Chains A and B, each alone.
Chain A
Amino acid sequence: MPDGRFGRELLGTYAVWWRELKVFQREKSRVVSSVASPLMWLFLFGGGVGSAISLGGGSYQSFIYPGVLVMAVLFSSVFFGLYIVWDRKLDVLKAVLVAPVSRVSIFFGKVLGGCTDVMIQAMLLSCFAALFPGVNLWMIPVALGILFITSIAMVSLGLAIGSMFESLEGFQVVSTFLVFPLFFLSGALYPVGDNLPGWLQVLVRLNPLTYSVDGVRGALLGLNSFPIIADIGAVALFGVLMILLGSWLFSRMK
């Protein structure tokens, strides 16, 4: 019965997703802290820098608002994915992995669970949009759409890396050499025009997150360097690649 098999796999994905929602419900303090840090970037960092400079004819805080949304999605997504290292250490995953459900279905359950967490956080942050002059509130759903695709890609990346690690010591390395460079090179905090030095320009353009920031900034402020449709295409392509990589590594995980 191919039908029955598909149904079982779908139920497996749902089960893993359901589990992540329960965990999220119980760990509310995590939500608070995950929203607090982007707010500090907006008000403590943005407020300070914004008192000295303005960008794109608006305030600096408005300019970095889309960037900070992407940053929040980046950090929460990657670290959610990496968290499976911990799950494996506690053997929570062991009983799930011996169930008659394919690894790919379990992987998708995890991705959906992570995206749900992250999108709740993104929606909370989008409530602050009205505080920043120039943000087009009608475009928030488009921005959230781009953030959702970004989240799928980044949770998959986190799971891919998490599948390869045996211990938590790799967290610091991933944070320093992957997450922070992705963030700094995304144009979240500065415009990615021709003003950038050549080497930085190259790195910024290679960074998939650049297109995510550009898309969200285009939607909310109309300050995009590339067509929004191209931004969405680039992020979606990256997402597909990360899903393939993640589900492959997850299937090979011991």
Chain B
Amino acid sequence: MPAGSGRAGMAIIETRRLTKTFGRIQAVRGIDLDIEKGEIFGLLGPNGAGKTTTIGMLCTIVRPTSGTALIDGHDVGREPGEVRRSVGIVFQDPTLDTVLTGRENLALHAMLYGVPSGLRRKRMDELLELVDLKDRADDITRTYSGGMRRRLELARGLLHRPAVLFLDEPTLGLDPQTRARTWEYIRRMARNEKTTVVLTTHYMEEAEQVCDRVGIIDHGRIIALDTPERLKQQLGGYMVVLRAKDPPLGTIRALPYVSEVKESDGTLEIAVKEAHLHLPDLLSKVPNVECVETRVPTLNDVFIKLTGRDIREQDPGEDLGGWVESVARYRQRGK
């Protein structure tokens, strides 16, 4: 594998003013991003924010309108072949060859990526082991479940020991249990293979458990970039979720310990510094409280603060069912 060319820092991906316009639509508007070697980096944002286009440019599938991007020292525009050899990709939609067996799918890609014939078998066995598909390796992949297909795709993406593995919505369309397991595999593979992982998702809760750092992208721009913890700290300590008749919004917003208020259908989500200190005072300011609950902030709260919108508002099919996370009900999408 080509090594980094000894530039300052350990950035394995460097983009400068990376931009893509489709006709009059500005999909990506000048993204500057440095992704460190070995980290799991999450690109978060609602559908249509520019995540997939950004990844597409980094994988040389989409040609940037302007700006530059270096992957492991190779320019995506000038050295697409080198870039393609340095990256592995798992697309949002399944791309397995369902006529072939699991092992044949891997063999096909090992050849396409020029893995030396002596290494192919060993590498395939290693990865099949890692994703727990050894027993099913010689079955036609049409018979695989959604989770198994995703795991095989992860293995396939890592066959040629890429410097960076791109995962576009790796858990989309999977049921909640399978999603949790898939994240486990992703973590395990990143650790075992010492690969930098760049992923997109709009499952904020899942991203904050997996990612070392996240970039929040909205309307083609990076609007926040940090570790999940630090991003959440910006909001203050706790979220108070309460339901009340005619809440005095102005009064609440003016309180010194309140950093953010969001209201929808009579439910308020209020970010406060210290729940146990400020909750009694807060409740005394709001008449007719019907119910109240506190929780720690999530990345979704960060997103709401930054954009004024819920990441899930644009995608009702993926919406959370209840008004507090504890009653969240996921909808399974696809098969």
- Interface on A for B, CB 8 Å cutoff? 7-8, 11-12, 14-16, 18-19, 22-23, 26-27, 90-92, 94-96, 98-101
Contacts and interface: CB of A to CB of B under 8 A. Distances in A.
Contacts of A15: 108, 111-112
30 contacts: A11-B112, A11-B114, A12-B111, A12-B112, A12-B114, A15-B108, A15-B111, A15-B112, A16-B112, A19-B97, A19-B108, A22-B100, A23-B100, A27-B99, A90-B98, A91-B91, A92-B96, A92-B98, A94-B91, A94-B95, A95-B89, A95-B95, A95-B109, A95-B156, A98-B60, A99-B109, A99-B113, A100-B84, A100-B85, A100-B113
A51 B95 CA distance: 53
Q: Which of B59, B84, B89, B108 has the most CB of A within 10 A?
A: B108
B111 A26 contact: no
A26 B143 CA distance: 14
B81 A100 contact: yes
A98 B111 contact: no
A99 B84 contact: yes
Contacts of A101: 112
Contacts of A22: 99-100, 104
B61 interface: yes
Contact of B114 (A23, A95, A100): A100
Contacts of B84: 98-100
Contacts of B113: 99-100
Contacts of A99: 84, 109, 112-113
Given A15-B112, A96-B112, 19 more contacts: A7-B114, A8-B114, A12-B111, A18-B108, A18-B111, A19-B100, A92-B95, A92-B97, A94-B91, A94-B93, A95-B89, A95-B96, A95-B97, A95-B156, A98-B60, A99-B84, A99-B109, A99-B113, A100-B85
Nearest to A8: B114
Given A22-B99, A23-B99, A92-B95, A98 B114 contact: no
A36 B313 CA distance: 56
Interface of B: 59-61, 81, 84-85, 89, 91, 93-100, 104, 108-109, 111-114, 140, 156
A27 B142 CA distance: 14
A92 B149 CA distance: 13
A98 B89 contact: yes
Contacts of B109: 95, 99
Contacts of A23: 99-100
A8 B111 CA distance: 8
Nearest to B156: A95
Given A19-B108, A101-B112, A95 B99 contact: no
A11 B99 contact: no
A153 to B, nearest CB: 26
B108 A91 contact: no
B114 to A, nearest CB: 4
B112 A91 contact: no
A5 to B, nearest CB: 8
Nearest to B56: A98
A94 B56 CA distance: 12
Contacts of B111: 11-12, 14-15, 18
Contacts of B112: 11-12, 15-16, 96, 99-101
Nearest to A102: B81
A220 B18 CA distance: 63
B140 to A, nearest CB: 8
Contact of A98 (B59, B98, B100, B140): B59
A190 to B, nearest CB: 40
A91 B104 contact: no
A99 B81 CA distance: 9
Contacts of A96: 108, 112
A99 B112 CA distance: 6
Contacts of A91: 91, 93-95
Contacts of A90: 98
A91 B153 CA distance: 13
A154 B212 CA distance: 53
Contacts of A26: 99, 140
A219 B108 CA distance: 40
B61 A98 contact: yes
Q: Which of A8, A16, A94, A98 has the most CB of B within 10 A?
A: A98
Contacts of A98: 59-61, 84, 89
A15 B107 CA distance: 8
Nearest to B86: A100
